[in-house]
Amino acid sequence: MLKIIIANILFELNLKKRLISTYAYFLLFAAFSALMMVIAGGGIKGAVVSFGLSNKVNINSSVSLTMITAFMGVFGLFIIAPAFGQALFKDFGNKFDQIIYSYPANRKGFLIGRFLGALLAQIFIFSSIALGLWIGTLFPNVQAGLVGENKLFLYILPYFTSLIPNFFIFGSMFFLISSKTKKMAPVYICCIILFMAWMLSGQLQREIDNKLLSTLIDPFGLEAISQSIRYWSAAEQNNNVVVLFSYYLYNRLLWGSIGLILFIYSIFTFNHQLKVKKSKTVDVKEDIKKVVVAKLKDMNPVFNFTTLITMTKFEISQAIKNIYFQMILLAGILFVFVSSTQIGKMYGTNTFPVTENVISLVGGSFSLFILIILTFYAGEVVWNERQVKINEILDSYDTPTWMKVVSKWMTLNLIIIILLTTIFFCGLIVQTVMGYHQYDFSQYFFRLFVVKFISYFNLAMFAFFIQVIVKSKYLGHALMILYYLLLTWLPSLGFSHKIYRFNAAPLATYSDMNKFGRFIEGYFAFKIYWFFLAFALLIVAALYWQRGSLSNFKDRKHQFIQRLKSSFLKWPLFISLGMFFVLGGFVYYNTNVLNTYRTSAELNQRKADYEKKYKKYANEPIPIITSVDVRVNIFPKEARVEFDSSVKLENKTNQPIKKFLFHVISDQITFDAKFSKNGKFIEDENLKGIWFFEFEDLFIPGEKIDFSYKGKIEYLGFANEVIGTDIVENGTFFNQWSFMPSFGYQPNFELSSTKDRTKYGLEKKKRMPPIDDEHALQFNYISNNASWIDYRAVVCTDPDQIAISPGYLQKEWVEEGRRCFDYKMDQKILNFYSFLSARYEVKRDKWNDVNIEVYYHKGHEYNLDGMIEATKSSLDYFTKNFSPYQHKQFRILEFPRYATFAQAFPNTIPFSEAIGFIADVDDTDPKDVNFPYYVTSHEMAHQWFAHQIIGGGVEGVTMLSESFAQYGALMVMKKKYGHQKMRRFLKHELDRYLFGRSQEHEYENPLYLNENQQYIHYQKGSLIMYALQEHFGEKLVNSVISEFISQKGYQEAPFTTSLEFLDLLYSKVPQDDHPFLDDLFKRIVLFDNKIVSAKQKKLENGKIELEVEIEGKKLVADQDGQEKEEDFEKEFTFAVEQKEGEYIYFQKHLIKNGMNKVKFVLEKPGKKFYLDPIFINIDKSPTENDKKIVSI
Amino acid sequence: MLLLERGFCCDFWTDSWCVGTNDLIIFYREEGSMSLEITGITKTYANGVKALDNVNLSMEKGMFGLLGPNGAGKSSLMRTLATLQPPDSGDIKFNDIDVLNSPESLRAQLGYLPQEFGVYPKATANDLLDYLAQLKGIANAKERKELVAQLLEMTNLTDVKKRAVSTYSGGMKQRFGIAQALIGNPKLIIVDEPTAGLDPQERVRFYNILSDIGEEVTVLLSTHIVTDVSDLCSNFAIMNKGKVLVKTTPEKAIQSLEGKIFSKLMKKNEADEMESIHKVVSSRFKSGNILLKVFADQCPEGFDAEEVDLEDYYFAHIKGFINA
């Protein structure tokens, strides 16, 4: 048998050796791998490759190499599939099987040999990946800082964990399939299914609790790797070696065994008996009888519309009857249903399946399948007759060529309609199953059959054209895939204009409030522009269409020119091309004349130039805004806002001001600015939007002047990208940054990432100034132009809309057909105000003397009560524990989903329609987080933490606003749900903190010095603040905060810092607790505890004794994630659960580093044991902190 | 002469219908009304193979045989005539139609049965014919139904019209092929090696149909089987290596070799030597020995005069013993 195996291996290898494709693939993968490496190493300007790793990670670290190698392996599937399939199929396909299987050779040996031969050949081909990756690291344009020491075994390791197991697993599948079906097509179907499993795995991962499942179903193991290393810090990503562990191990075990079973199965069940197809030939008894000689009638051929319909019908039935079409469609539908379970999830909580979300989700999931089917069927319709081999007959008929072309083209369009209709029904089913019955049919129609259709319609013509001009349908498919890749890659290479990317068009997200708004115009303009090109290509395809044998390019060209000259089609062709150019001009006029098109490189250059030129003015004194009185006229339909502000300025410094920087950086603003003190504007000739204002006489300390600033923001036409989502037909929302000028050097215009800065020759910079930066402390972090201002605004809008700005409504009137509102603030506010206008419904309520108003879009009533309840509970809690509420009203205002946040302006909270308004919260579901409630409380808390105490613009400041707001929200939620239920929220916070730090681009800071790092000030902030009150009690924490507010509330410059708060806090707690506070605020501390075992036994008295073994580990990380172990002794909560969410034991126990054995007594037996169930301590492997209890 | 020729054909089949129409045929021929004229057709494939080398042929109503070994260029010529493959140069006229410049006009009068063809899986003969008839412009449903029925009847497929064509036996499939070629009552019918792989009975059936049609229109039949031509065709041409070697009638062909073919029965080893000495047209086994036929002006020693058949003529041409 061994001989046969070897003979077959050699046979297989010999075959591969002689195939040019072997070397072609080798080179291709080597080149592609090298390219990936160079891109990952920042070697190609503007191109990015990221595998969810921090961009500080060496490209030749174990993690990077494993990820890239595994990823390349995914593409390898399409080489592996034919290789293994063909290993057997070649005998059947070439009808050689009858000979081969008539030999007496041992069949198992034969099979094993063939299989191993194919496997070895694949290993040879894919060894190119490691080679390519290594070559990639040697490229001079790779950033030196991103290449560590090259270690050979790190390159080889992924072959043993990922590639070779995958070859074996997939190889077994393909081997089995081809040996059973004796066909190749099912092998390719299997490929698609594997691919889908991979995508599905990615989908499911959005839910924390699905991690195991989602990582198991990924046959490639790629998702399993990324989940296994999800919480690795940058240092760990650089230094750890990825071996089989955690999810990755389970995944490999599962798929490895599947592969093995399939392999063994295929060896033992291989059926070498030839299935001689007894074709159902019919034998009709007939004598050589005299044939009926009937004179056939002469008929004049008629080709009319009916003929065309018949042909189209025939073509479409050919397509639909195709089993592969049905399978891909079915796969798509299944994929849609699975991913629909994740509709709009936030914090693991569902949103209502509103039509808007459903179409986005279903349409989005499905679009890949449409691309696959369209690409595939363009090939099928064009090549069908040739494949069936009936082409010579049909081509000799006098059916007009144009009819063939049109019928085939119509078939493609019908396929698109069938697919879109499928999406439509999938959407309806998803909605119905979820118990949602407000189907928005007009939205379905418009978004699917108009907006999406035109896109596929263009694409179909393009794909058709490609298939007609190529000589093989596979080449056509390859060209289409190349097109898709280019379309998505060009922007990352710096070519982002849609005018040269076929079928590209800008379109804003669909919003319930604003629909597509005016953004649909640019979309249609681009699509129509591309339509004319596509249509011209279709005509070229028709003229190029070949009947009979395919001739060479020269002949076809000749034939094409001949036909072009004689055919009437030349007119539509010329007209289409003409229209293409006309539309192109129109598009260009909009994108590049009415609007400005800048590449990201240009933008970066501008930022770098700005910094180089003006950084020296950073500490120059500037005028400070003390009062704003603005009149804003919003024209929602015209995408225009006129403003007229009267601003009071004061020199609050002790230096006279001669000149200061003045910026209005927006292509859409035209303005007229006047200072009451004489002076002149000096414009920067190179950098648009930047001036110096130079006073004639010095603006002396203490002097007050007026500044009048009039002008308009206007969005003209459409741009290459979607711009101007802040001023829209229904749901305008913009703030003062959108139009007010900024004075003095603006650090936030600087390039921020170290990568970009190095590229432009700038030094690395901190993301925020140091905590003791005196200049920076002169300004709060909201505005570097003002501290506290008087505010008044008159806002006018269309008569059917309500316009809102912070302040109290003084009066409302109609003037020149416009509805106007006068808002006035009764006290000073931060220089932070917004304007909103929409057709609102209003829900009102009251808490003591505070008016509560929610302005919402009709139909979004689901969570209004929850929001109001949260507002009231928050007011209750915050006024009782912190300080009085400074306003007499609180307003929540819905705005379109162009942004997904809520933002706290003084007594005014714009709140995105995407978060909260359509949440489907089930408070009885232990996994659900009531996030509208949470977000409302958070924003409410900002009225204290930001609008009462505001820190200076230095590092750590966001702890005082964001972490405190999180704290406020947590306390309100804790009051509502109870301490034991906080797990559901904090588990998400822990996950996002740990993931956030693994993605850190620069370095991680401790909380009190965070540089506006979201995963720190939000997620870590929540965990830390919760732990703080858990340790000292709510009361103490609240009293410190309250005292801090009374000390620092509404303070003037210099502003406070996180350190000042900590000093106060430290002073209020015993000395012994200072190390604990250090751990929370000043260090990066992570636990890595692990439950080793949890065993229960019955005691004589009938009670239960539970013994748990816990391995304690405490780690202190530096800013790169380098960890050091530290001894500790600390109380942790132990909880025993009997039913999900219900604890029968909930007590604190002391845990030390090393092994801990703890015994305690339960009243009744438990199911699951939790260490720190509420996630009060940050544990870097939270999955090791619960364990099923074993009874002994 | 022409009458004789036709008579030969008719006599063979001993069918009465032939006789009745002879006059008419003769009349047309006498008028010299040539229907298909091929001049100077040349085709070189991308791989350098010269498939057609200055082919000149003309043919009239009736069955015309195109004889040649595999690879002679028969199919290339057929495809060119069927407007499926434009030649590099040359001219084709069918009646008044300039085929190369207005192929669509020819297609309206053309019936073509390629050497090999496939059909859509699962399509029944009836449905497929109906569909194909629409593609040939038979738009009227009622007419089409009648036509399909008639075609099925002619090709004796009526009983199996509800079965998928893909399940047909070779002969039935070829009959289906001829049925589709007849849609629209074509004036020029081109059939490319239609009987390859058919058993003798099926061959007869197929020719039965073909000879029927050959009466009214021009039928161009390519084959490498000499008896096909001698059985069916009034005119034929021999092609080899892309060239037309000769165009003649079967009678003339046989006549031209009269007294020039000789044969001898011999042992196998003897036969091998003969190749170098004589112009061997054919050799075949006969009761364990070999019957060798040679082409010569005078009877070689030990050989006997042999009755000439068309095959001798064919091989004499293919082997280059006779230069046209």
pTM of the model: 0.85
pLDDT over 90, % of chain B: 31
Residues B44 and B71 both lie in one domain: yes
Q: Are A311 and B139 inside 8 Å of each other by CB? A: no
Which range (A148-162, A317-331, A770-784) has the least confidence? Answer: A317-331
Residue of A nearest to B205 (CA): A288
- The first and second tokens of residue A1132, run together, are 């942790």
Using an 8 Å CB-CB cutoff, list chain A residues near B131.
310, 314
Nearest to B119 among A318, A388, A395 (CB): A388
pLDDT at B307 over 60: yes
Residue B182 is assigned to a structural domain of this protein: yes
| pLDDT band with cut points at 50, 70 and 90 for residue A577 | very high
Half-sphere exposure in the Cβ direction for A856 (13 Å, CA): 21
For residue range A130-177, what is the model confidence (pLDDT) as tens digits? Answer: 999 999 888 887 877 788 888 899 999 999 999 999 999 999 998 888
Higher-pLDDT residue of A570, A276 = A570
Nearest-5° Cα angle at B8, B5 to B11:
150
Residues A1078 and A1098 both lie in one domain: no
For residue range A911-951, what is the model confidence (pLDDT) as tens digits? Answer: 999 888 888 888 777 778 888 999 999 999 999 999 999 99
pLDDT at A205 over 50: yes
CA distance A449 to chain B (A): 31
Residue B298 is assigned to a structural domain of this protein: yes
Nearest to A291 among B110, B119, B212 (CB): B212
| pLDDT band with cut points at 50, 70 and 90 for residue A283 | low
Q: Are A389 and B116 inside 8 Å of each other by CB? A: yes
Residues A1146 and A1167 both lie in one domain: yes
Residue B133 is assigned to a structural domain of this protein: yes
pLDDT at A514 over 80: yes
Q: Are A292 and B153 inside 8 Å of each other by CB? A: yes
Residues B166 and B296 both lie in one domain: no
Q: How far is CA A121 from CA A70, A84, A109, A1101, A1116, in A?
A: 18, 10, 18, 68, 48
Containing structural domain, residue A546: 305-495+530-588
- CATH number where B76 lies: 3.40.50.300
| pLDDT of the residue at A518 | 94
Residue B6 is assigned to a structural domain of this protein: no
SS3 for A918?
coil
Residues A935 and A997 both lie in one domain: no
Using an 8 Å CB-CB cutoff, list chain B residues near A548.
79, 82-85
Residues B68 and B139 both lie in one domain: yes
Residues B124 and B169 both lie in one domain: yes
pLDDT at A1036 over 60: yes
| pLDDT band with cut points at 50, 70 and 90 for residue A602 | confident
Q: Are B184 and A280 inside 8 Å of each other by CB? A: no
| pLDDT of the residue at A765 | 87
Strand partners, A515: A511
Q: Are A394 and B132 inside 8 Å of each other by CB? A: yes
**Torsion sign, CA atoms A832, A837, A842, A843:** negative
- CATH number where A1054 lies: 1.10.390.10
CA distance A292 to chain B (A): 5
Residues B115 and B150 both lie in one domain: yes
Residues B104 and B143 both lie in one domain: yes
SS3 for B230?
helix
Q: Are B84 and A321 inside 8 Å of each other by CB? A: no
Closest CA to A843 of A858, A825, A855: A855
Name the A residues in 370-389 with CB < 8 Å from any B CB: 388-389
**B313 contact A CB<8A:** no
Nearest-5° Cα angle at B125, B173 to B130:
130
pLDDT at A542 over 70: yes
CA distance B314 to chain A (A): 29
Nearest to A548 among B84, B131, B201 (CB): B84
Using an 8 Å CB-CB cutoff, list chain B residues near A307.
134-135, 137, 139
The mean pLDDT value for A411-416 works out to: 95
Residues A1145 and A1004 both lie in one domain: no
Nearest-5° Cα angle at B58, B53 to B64:
100
CA distance B237 to chain A (A): 23
Residue B23 is assigned to a structural domain of this protein: no
| pLDDT of the residue at A325 | 82
Which range (A1-10, A122-131, A1142-1151) has the least confidence? Answer: A1-10
Q: Are B185 and A392 inside 8 Å of each other by CB? A: no
Judged on CB neighbours under 10 Å (0-12, 13-18, 19+), A823 is buried
For residue range A787-825, what is the model confidence (pLDDT) as tens digits? Answer: 899 999 999 999 999 999 999 999 999 999 999 999 999
Half-sphere exposure in the Cβ direction for A379 (13 Å, CA): 19
Q: Which residue has the tokens 């001669």?
A: A658
| pLDDT band with cut points at 50, 70 and 90 for residue A335 | confident
Residues A1048 and A1098 both lie in one domain: no
Which range (A293-297, A310-314, A461-465, A969-973) has the least confidence? Answer: A293-297
Residues A321 and A411 both lie in one domain: yes
Considering B197, B221, B247, which residue would you say is the last residue of a domain? B247
Residues B296 and B206 both lie in one domain: no
**A285 contact B CB<8A:** no
For residue range B17-39, what is the model confidence (pLDDT) as tens digits? Answer: 333 333 333 333 333 455 899 99
**B201 contact A CB<8A:** yes
| pLDDT of the residue at A290 | 47
Closest CA to A8 of A92, A80, A96, A105: A105
Residues A18 and A120 both lie in one domain: yes
Pick among B52, B84, B153 to test the A interface (most A CBs inside 10 A):
B84
Considering A1038, A1061, A1082, which residue would you say is the last residue of a domain? A1082
- Count of the separate structural domains present in chain B: 2
Residues A108 and A220 both lie in one domain: yes
Name the A residues in 557-616 with CB < 8 Å from any B CB: 559
Residues B93 and B155 both lie in one domain: yes
Average pLDDT of chain B is 82
Amino acid at A106: N
Name the B residues in 135-154 with CB < 8 Å from any A CB: 135-140, 143, 147, 150-151, 153-154
The mean pLDDT value for B153-171 works out to: 89
Nearest to B134 among A288, A310, A390 (CB): A310
Residue A700 is assigned to a structural domain of this protein: no
CA distance B185 to chain A (A): 6
CA distance B172 to chain A (A): 9
The mean pLDDT value for A1026-1043 works out to: 96
Q: Are A397 and B132 inside 8 Å of each other by CB? A: yes
pLDDT at B13 over 50: no
Nearest to A395 among B84, B111, B154 (CB): B84
Residue of B nearest to A319 (CA): B120
| pLDDT band with cut points at 50, 70 and 90 for residue A294 | low
Considering B219, B247, B275, which residue would you say is the last residue of a domain? B247
Residues A584 and A442 both lie in one domain: yes
Nearest-5° Cα angle at A744, A739 to A745:
100
Residues A1034 and A1166 both lie in one domain: no
Name the B residues in 56-85 with CB < 8 Å from any A CB: 79, 82-85
Burial pattern B137-154, b for ≥16 Cβ within 10 A else e, equals bbbeeeebeebbebbbeb
**A555 contact B CB<8A:** yes
Considering B247, B268, B289, which residue would you say is the last residue of a domain? B247
Q: Are A279 and B167 inside 8 Å of each other by CB? A: yes
Containing structural domain, residue B125: 34-247
Residues B207 and B282 both lie in one domain: no
Residue B27 is assigned to a structural domain of this protein: no
Name the B residues in 243-302 with CB < 8 Å from any A CB: none
pLDDT at B14 over 50: no
Residue A762 is assigned to a structural domain of this protein: no
For residue range A946-986, what is the model confidence (pLDDT) as tens digits? Answer: 999 999 999 999 999 999 999 999 999 999 999 988 988 99
Residue B46 is assigned to a structural domain of this protein: yes
Q: Are A397 and B136 inside 8 Å of each other by CB? A: yes
DSSP B241-302: TTEEEEEE-HHHHHHHHTT-EEEEEE-HHHHHHHHHHSEEEEEEEETTEEEEEEE-SSPPTT
Q: Are B82 and A398 inside 8 Å of each other by CB? A: no
| pLDDT band with cut points at 50, 70 and 90 for residue A93 | low
Q: Are A306 and B204 inside 8 Å of each other by CB? A: no
For the ranges A358-367, A595-604, A690-699, the maximum mean pLDDT occurs at A690-699
Residues A1059 and A1130 both lie in one domain: no
Residue A833 is assigned to a structural domain of this protein: no
Residues B283 and B175 both lie in one domain: no
A794 conformational bin, left if phi > 0, alpha if psi -120 to 50, beta if neither: beta
Nearest-5° Cα angle at A286, A283 to A287:
145
pLDDT at B236 over 80: yes
Pick among A299, A317, A555 to test the B interface (most B CBs inside 10 A):
A299
Residues B156 and B267 both lie in one domain: no
* A991, A893 contact by CB (below 8 A): no
- CATH number where A854 lies: 3.30.2010
Nearest to A396 among B82, B138, B160 (CB): B82
pLDDT at B5 over 50: no
CA distance B98 to chain A (A): 15
For the ranges A985-989, A1055-1059, B192-196, B254-258, the maximum mean pLDDT occurs at A1055-1059
pLDDT at B147 over 70: yes
| pLDDT of the residue at B288 | 83
Strand partners, A648: A627, A706
**A287 contact B CB<8A:** no
Residues A1074 and A1089 both lie in one domain: no
- The first and second tokens of residue A256, run together, are 């490895």
Residue B302 is assigned to a structural domain of this protein: yes
Considering A241, A269, A297, which residue would you say is the last residue of a domain? A269
- Count of the separate structural domains present in chain A: 5
CA distance B177 to chain A (A): 9
Q: Are A399 and B113 inside 8 Å of each other by CB? A: no
| pLDDT band with cut points at 50, 70 and 90 for residue A234 | confident
Pick among B105, B135, B202 to test the A interface (most A CBs inside 10 A):
B135
Name the A residues in 392-431 with CB < 8 Å from any B CB: 392-400
Residue of A nearest to B81 (CA): A396
Residues B118 and B96 both lie in one domain: yes
